[in-house]
Structure 1
Amino acid sequence: MSFGRPHRAIIADDHAIVRTALSATLSDPDAMDGQTIEICEEVENGIEAIRAVRQHRPELLMLDVTMPHAGGTEVLLEARRWSPETKVVILTGVEASGKIAELVATGADGIFCKSDDLGEMTRAVPRILEGARVVCSRFAKLLETASEAEPLTTRERQVLNQVVAGRTNREIGETLGISIKTVDRHRTSVMGKTGAHSAAELIAFALREGLIDPNSSQ
């Protein structure tokens, strides 16, 4: 049984098999706890996702976080700009606490892991359409574990990104306008907080936690 008028949805993912699976699931009222969802468009890149949201103003946007031309965070912000009432559900295979925390802070209504089956997401979508915000259990545990670790300061993140870029302490100091001694102190602090013992381990940590920021040198 359908509850009121159908909800319109856009599916944005650069993998056709994912779009097909999501479309079949969302279109099944039994799977959606009686809610009727109509797929008004499927798109395969971020620019098309933004265009589709502007055109349709849907109730629901199912959004892959990593797509060509515009990433999930950018699309989410644009969706909020053009269609504030649209509920945005993020799907990602990136299991990095830094990235998940960023998506939560940006205001995603739902965040789910592509490594999981569709069950948890399927049960959550009707609640999200009613106004709930849901983070899947896998990511909730990831965020809980990350919150127990001592966070990096803004300056430490800047130094970390410079290390990832392959710059020496002297180059980092010149870029950030600080002394080599201060760079070394921040670098030592970062290694202590992350448990890294080399530049390679710092890079691995930054990649794993989604901390690499291409604008960090600005």
Structure 2
Amino acid sequence: MSEYIIGLTGGVASGKSTVEARFRALDIVVADADAAAREAVAAGSDGLAEVVAAFGSGILTADGSLNRAAMRQRVFAESPARKTLEAIVHPRVRTALADACQMASSTYAIASIPLLAESGGRSAYPWLDRILVVDAAVTVQLARLQQRDGSDAALAQRMIAAQATRQERLAIADDVLVNDGALAVLDAQVLALDQLYRRLAAA
């Protein structure tokens, strides 16, 4: 059971998944909010039933699962829609992450929460001992989004604008990992943070 928990966050296309993989390679348990969010609205779940009640059956695919592409377009186009969806999903995600981290077998655990700044930061997640922000310039995020998802520039800009600003994320950070260069630089930062977190967890 891990009693020391790190919150990992960063803007879209900042490289959080790459950082997660580096910590996992060091035998650290990472509980992923994106995975928990998918589970929260899985086919047949209470969460999906709430989403359908709020948005209608038009957001379902033929097999009864959530049409994620259609939902994404809608929430990034309409702020009220995004808030409605988050009110359904976020409480379920918080509970799942806390449970997974507390049951983790590693020295410390990481809760990877892309929307940590947007969803209340420390007040929403009072069980986080420390917050690590993966940071990249907005120009880097835009380029990665268009390359990764095939998004056009306008959609990529809307996706970034829908999130907290870079400054808002940095304001909640205890640690900042800059991810806009070579992977060797990223690896060195992760190793240094791992050593720090192991010391803090043991203290």
- Do Structure 1 and Structure 2 share a fold, with TM-score over 0.5? no
Q: Which has the larger radius of gyration?
A: 1
TM-score (norm 2): 0.36
TM-score (norm 1): 0.34
